């Protein structure tokens, strides 16, 4: 195999046009130390001469931490410079860099390649095509280029938001920004003295509503996330946000089932390049099983592949038997991990890893799976994104059924949506009665309101009951985000397709990929998602809704495309999801932790919330009158984040 320099990393940097915002090596080293877990195989820092600020040129500091996946040749170390004064720090992978290198070689015959790295290809692509180079990249990435000849900082984040990039600006007035700082993680950005760490009221409301803070916001008032498909171009006089798209290279087909199969196989093959051990997450569900099957076919019968699953004692949350059955069918070398609950030990670590409050409790099994998988491999493929692209979630079928019932007389829909449904049995979040009650609650709502009801932790009335009066002004921010969501439904017309696009724009990067990145990089594990290949995304988004889901099941086209590759049981059993019994833990092992943190006199809740509302939620949950597991988890993670960032003990 030809050696290529490729690897996941952590990046950071500060570009300062005014001396009082300049960062010295000590600050850059502190930023680097915060990212050490992302890149344990190498560290690089570039710091220019600070006296250049007096000559009208900025001081530039760039930081890189490297996780070597392919060819750890020092020639490819970052920060990387191309000989013309352009520097890059890059986190991620450009899967099509070899074909881009051939294209660049034809256009730049004088270029003398120094490495076999995608980093050098990225920088050469920028040199030839400028900021539009991102439209040609098939990969997951976040990068920053300091273009010394143009005196410009250019940053970009991949199309689907797999890799994170946070940034902050100092004094962005009429004279231009005083400085810009960026980092792969918030805690690295917080090492810069001038970065404002005031809590955002809007960010807090967004978090309580959705369980994460959607881009471009963060929990901090003056720190932003670069959105998926986002770019940022900064000079001493201007700061310009932008977006990009990747043109579709997929032709229409008279056989969409076969086309789906072919495109997914191509995506998996693109992501198999590695000179370190590589495996695959396998839950036994449709998405991960398809990736494992495509991976098995790509490597051939002569080479075994490694698959990994994780389970729990509670059978309602354990899928390891299903994963083992798929592994036997495919002939993989399978590792099954069963972990005992260590939530009280792991939750503070997760709060620190995310850098802002994050309320998806499935981060716990992802964290455990990443830790155990890293003992065997450095790279793992996953089925992430299959649900959002191919109509896999129950909420999409609920949207379809809701639209079908829209023609009923209004009195029937009003009665169905009346609060009488709360008397129906069932409180467990995974029970069918609970799901049915959730569906009935939104039956008389507009499609966008129904979708929001499926996604929200706290709706507007619940937030007003929870937040203290001084913090309720932040609700306007969440309402604006909801307004953008509603525009998507009005524009698309197809409520189910609108829900899928909303998930791709919000939930997928803000929750799922944020979770996978933070949990896997805590253990220096690289996770690749073939469903996020641009060809797969573009193809799935042009398929008609009826090819993806009906009222009975989702992923219709995936089921047909891979029916011959996998056991029939994979496609017949009900979707479980990757979750943990957090609600039961709050009644048992985690109850002391929950109550001690929420009701401590120094708690975030005591100064920002109305405690009687929280006490009522806790009591209802303990008595099994209502299931508040995800709401309580959100409040607990908020407290753990607050303690970590405030250094409370």
Q: Looking at the structure, do residues 305 and 188 belong to the same domain, yes or no?
A: no
Nearest to 394 by CA among 503, 257, 534: 503
Whether the pLDDT of residue 142 is over 70: the answer is yes
pLDDT confidence of residue 269? 95
User: Of 216, 243, 270, at which residue does a domain stop?
Assistant: 243
The pLDDT confidence band at residue 2, using thresholds 50, 70 and 90, is very low
Top pLDDT among 185 and 495 is at 185
The pLDDT confidence band at residue 49, using thresholds 50, 70 and 90, is low
Q: Looking at the structure, do residues 227 and 121 belong to the same domain, yes or no?
A: yes
pLDDT confidence of residue 230? 98
Nearest to 478 by CA among 198, 199, 204: 204
Whether the pLDDT of residue 311 is over 70: the answer is yes
pLDDT confidence of residue 342? 83
pLDDT confidence of residue 103? 96
Beta bridge partners of 176: 173
Mean pLDDT of the 250-279 span: 88
**Contacts by residues 542-547 (CB-CB < 8 Å, ≥ 24 positions apart):** 542/248, 542/250, 543/256, 545/391, 545/494, 545/496, 545/497, 547/256
Domain range for 623: 581-649
- CATH number of the domain that 557 lies in? 3.40.50.620
Whether the pLDDT of residue 594 is over 50: the answer is yes
Distance CA 270, CA 289 (A): 18
pLDDT confidence of residue 56? 67
pLDDT confidence of residue 437? 63
Q: Looking at the structure, do residues 148 and 228 belong to the same domain, yes or no?
A: yes
Q: Looking at the structure, do residues 535 and 648 belong to the same domain, yes or no?
A: no
Whether the pLDDT of residue 577 is over 70: the answer is no
User: Of 518, 552, 572, at which residue does a domain stop?
Assistant: 572
Whether the pLDDT of residue 268 is over 50: the answer is yes
Summary mean pLDDT of the chain: 88
pLDDT confidence of residue 290? 98
pLDDT confidence of residue 179? 95
Nearest to 176 by CA among 234, 237, 232, 235: 237
Strand 152-157, strand 42-47: pairing = unpaired
Top pLDDT among 313 and 342 is at 342
Q: Looking at the structure, do residues 215 and 296 belong to the same domain, yes or no?
A: no
- CATH number of the domain that 158 lies in? 3.60.20.10
Q: Looking at the structure, do residues 35 and 149 belong to the same domain, yes or no?
A: yes
Mean pLDDT of the 160-183 span: 92
Distance CA 139, CA 163 (A): 10
Nearest to 277 by CA among 333, 207, 359: 333
Least confident of 78-87, 257-266, 384-393, 422-431: 422-431
Whether the pLDDT of residue 441 is over 60: the answer is yes
pLDDT confidence of residue 77? 83
pLDDT confidence of residue 60? 95
Top pLDDT among 182 and 252 is at 182
- Look at the chain and report how many structural domains it folds into: 3
Mean pLDDT of the 505-532 span: 95
Mean pLDDT of the 30-53 span: 84
Q: Looking at the structure, do residues 344 and 229 belong to the same domain, yes or no?
A: no
Instruction: Report the half-sphere exposure of 280 (CA within 13 A, side-chain side).
Output: 32
Whether the pLDDT of residue 70 is over 80: the answer is no
pTM: 0.93
Mean pLDDT of the 292-301 span: 90
Q: Looking at the structure, do residues 566 and 508 belong to the same domain, yes or no?
A: yes
Distance CA 103, CA 88 (A): 20
Sign, CA dihedral 280-282-288-292, equals positive
Mean pLDDT of the 5-15 span: 80
The pLDDT confidence band at residue 253, using thresholds 50, 70 and 90, is confident
User: Of 185, 218, 243, at which residue does a domain stop?
Assistant: 243
Flag whether 274 is in a domain.
yes
Mean pLDDT of the 366-389 span: 95
Q: Looking at the structure, do residues 41 and 178 belong to the same domain, yes or no?
A: yes
Top pLDDT among 235 and 412 is at 235
b (16+ CB within 10 A) / e for 538-573: bbbeebebebbbbeebbbbbbbbbbeebbeeebbee
Top pLDDT among 76 and 100 is at 100
Express each pLDDT in 105-128 by its tens digit: 999 999 899 888 899 999 999 999
Eight-state DSSP code of residue 252: P
Six token digits for residue 107: 């256009």
Eight-state DSSP code of residue 297: H
Flag whether 73 is in a domain.
yes
The conformational region for residue 601 under phi > 0 = left, psi -120 to 50 = alpha, else beta, is alpha
Q: Looking at the structure, do residues 588 and 553 belong to the same domain, yes or no?
A: no
């Amino acid at each position: 195999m030809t050696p290529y320099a490729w690897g996941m990393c952590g990046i950071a940097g500060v570009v300062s046009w005014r001396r009082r915002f300049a960062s010295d090596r000590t600050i850059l080293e502190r930023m680097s130390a915060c990212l050490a877990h992302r890149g344990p195989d190498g560290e690089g820092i570039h710091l220019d001469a600070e006296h250049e600020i007096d000559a009208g040129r900025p001081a530039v500091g760039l930081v890189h931490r490297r996780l070597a996946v392919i060819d750890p040749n020092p020639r490819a170390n970052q920060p990387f410079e191309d000989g013309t004064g352009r520097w890059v720090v890059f986190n991620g992978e450009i899967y099509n860099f070899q074909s881009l290198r051939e294209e660049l070689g034809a256009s730049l015959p004088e270029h003398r390649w120094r490495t076999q790295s995608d980093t050098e290809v990225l920088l050469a692509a920028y040199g030839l095509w400028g900021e539009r180079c991102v439209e040609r990249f098939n990969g997951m990435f976040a990068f920053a280029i300091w273009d010394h000849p143009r005196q410009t900082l250019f940053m970009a984040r991949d199309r689907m938001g797999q890799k994170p990039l946070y940034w902050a600006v100092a004094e962005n007035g009429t004279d231009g920004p005083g400085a810009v700082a960026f980092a792969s993680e918030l805690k690295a950005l917080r090492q810069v003295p001038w970065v404002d760490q005031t809590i955002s009221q809007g960010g807090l409301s967004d978090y309580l509503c959705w369980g994460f803070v959607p881009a471009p916001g963060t929990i901090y008032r003056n720190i932003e996330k670069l959105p998926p498909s986002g770019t940022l171009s900064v000079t001493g006089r201007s700061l310009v946000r932008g977006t990009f798209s990747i043109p579709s290279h997929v032709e229409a087909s008279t056989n969409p089932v076969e086309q789906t199969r072919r495109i997914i196989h191509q995506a998996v093959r693109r992501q198999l390049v590695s000179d370190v051990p590589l495996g695959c997450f396998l839950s036994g569900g449709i998405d991960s099983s398809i990736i494992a099957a495509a991976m098995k076919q790509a490597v051939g019968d002569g080479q075994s592949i490694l698959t990994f699953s994780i389970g729990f004692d509670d059978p309602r949350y354990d899928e390891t038997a299903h994963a083992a059955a798929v592994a036997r069918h495919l002939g993989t070398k399978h590792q099954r991990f069963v972990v005992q609950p260590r939530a009280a030990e792991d939750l503070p670590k997760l709060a620190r890893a995310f850098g802002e409050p994050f309320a998806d409790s499935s981060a716990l099994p992802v964290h455990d799976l990443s830790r155990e998988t890293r003992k065997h491999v450095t790279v793992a493929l996953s089925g992430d994104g299959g649900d959002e692209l191919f109509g896999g979630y129950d909420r999409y079928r609920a949207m379809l059924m809701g639209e079908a019932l829209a023609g009923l007389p209004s009195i029937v829909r009003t009665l169905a949506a009346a609060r009488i449904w709360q008397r129906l049995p069932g409180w467990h979040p995974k029970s069918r009665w609970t799901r049915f009650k959730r569906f009935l609650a939104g039956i008389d709502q507009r499609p966008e309101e129904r979708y929001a009801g499926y996604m929200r932790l706290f709706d507007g009335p619940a937030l007003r009951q929870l937040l203290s009066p001084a913090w309720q002004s932040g609700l306007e921010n969440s309402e604006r985000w909801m307004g953008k969501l509603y525009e998507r439904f009005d524009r698309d017309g197809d409520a189910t397709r609108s829900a899928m696009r909303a998930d791709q724009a919000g939930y997928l990067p803000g929750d799922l990929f944020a979770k996978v990145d933070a949990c896997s990089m805590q253990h220096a594990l690289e996770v690749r998602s073939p469903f996020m290949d641009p060809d797969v995304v573009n193809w799935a988004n042009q398929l008609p809704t009826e090819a993806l889901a009906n009222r009975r099941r989702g992923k219709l086209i995936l089921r047909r495309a891979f029916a011959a590759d996998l056991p029939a049981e994979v496609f017949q059993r009900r979707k479980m999801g990757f979750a943990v019994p957090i609600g039961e833990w709050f009644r048992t092992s985690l109850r002391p932790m929950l109550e001690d943190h929420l009701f401590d006199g120094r708690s975030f809740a005591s100064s920002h919330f109305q405690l009687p509302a929280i006490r009522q939620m806790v009591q209802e949950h303990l008595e099994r009158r209502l299931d508040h597991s995800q709401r309580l988890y959100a409040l607990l993670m908020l407290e753990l984040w607050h303690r970590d960032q405030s250094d409370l003990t």
